[in-house]
Amino acid sequence: MHGRLKVRTTEEQQLLKRKEQQKKLIAYRMGMKQILDSRKPVNPDIYTLWNYRKEVALLEINSNINIEETEKLSNFLENELKLTEQCLLANPKSYSSWHHRYWILEHNPEANWKKEFDLCTKYLTMDDRNFHCWDFRRLVLNKVGITLGDEIKFSTDRININFSNYSSWHYRSTLKALTEECVEDELTIVKSALFTDPADSSAWFYLRWILSDPIVNTEHKEDLLDNLNQLLEIEPDCRWILIAKCWLIQDLHADKSNYVKEQIDCYRKLEEIDLLRKGHYSDKLNKLLSAN
């Protein structure tokens, strides 16, 4: 039960509500019994009802498969799609509804995957953090034959619309391996996000990932360290900048005592300004102090 605000009620209201609920419950139980005999979802999470629908769909498909006239079957399958759409509008996180939708499409020899793909794109512009929809899009993508180039453009557009969209950064990470040709571009896009709002976490996770790739060379890292020092002058208390500085120093200058001291200073400052993660910074500090 998520995000259901509790409203305090008097006993009388509670009694009334209980009566209402009892009526609903009796109706639900009767309906449930009817459904269990005849089949039709009410609550999208009642997985057994979706199973019944799939059983019925299989019967329809098998009995229509050799018939020339396909209209009856396609109407039936279209209805199933409509139903999942209604359920997803009510609960966009319903695992069962998403799965049923994909299952129906897969069992429809004439499924319109392109239309489905466009629907996903449209939905993501309304809620770009729904990971069910991202996952669904990935499944549909394979069916439509969208090119990697198209998807990289889609991800760049999503990031340009909203830098702080972690889902878009994640998606970007799945699209390509870093190469000599694209590494500059990736650094540019992540830097422009960091400089736009250094307090936003999303791009920092992406940065950490890029930095772990050997294709990012010393020169790139030196450059970035300079950039971060500049940014730190404007935002001296931004913990993300301090954390990223430490990664870079560790990579570039772990053997130089003046840099090690700078790293130690960063972690000491982090211990002070970010009490929630003090244990994390203390571990780092102790490691540095015992090694030097």
**What distance in Å separates the CA atoms of residue 98 and residue 88, rounded to the nearest whole number?**
8
Task: List, as own/partner pairs, every contact residues 55-58 make where C-beta atoms lie below 8 angstroms and the sequence separation is at least 24, other chains included.
Answer: 57/104, 57/107, 58/107
Closer Cβ to another protein, 167 or 263, answer by number: 167
Q: Minimum Å distance from CB 111 to another protein?
A: 16
Helix (H) or strand (E) holding 75: helix 71-90
Q: Minimum Å distance from CB 146 to another protein?
A: 14
List residues binding another protein (CB under 8 A).
Answer: 1-6, 8, 10, 18, 21-22, 24-25, 28-29, 36, 43, 45-48, 50-51, 54, 95, 99, 103, 129, 131, 134-135, 138, 164, 166-167, 170-171, 173-174, 197, 199-202, 205-206, 208-209, 212, 275-280, 283
Closer Cβ to another protein, 24 or 72, answer by number: 24
SS3 letters for 137-182?
HHHHHHHHCCCHHHHHHHHHHHHHHCCCCHHHHHHHHHHCCCCCCC
Closer Cβ to another protein, 70 or 174, answer by number: 174
Closer Cβ to another protein, 125 or 201, answer by number: 201
State both tokens at 78: 């279209």
Q: Minimum Å distance from CB 69 to another protein?
A: 28
- Listed in sequence order, the residues at least 6 apart from 5 whose beta carbon sits closer than 8 Å to its beta carbon are none
| Length of the chain measured in residues | 292
- Phi, psi dihedral angles at 81 (to 5 degrees): -65, -40
Q: Minimum Å distance from CB 4 to another protein?
A: 5
Q: Minimum Å distance from CB 6 to another protein?
A: 5
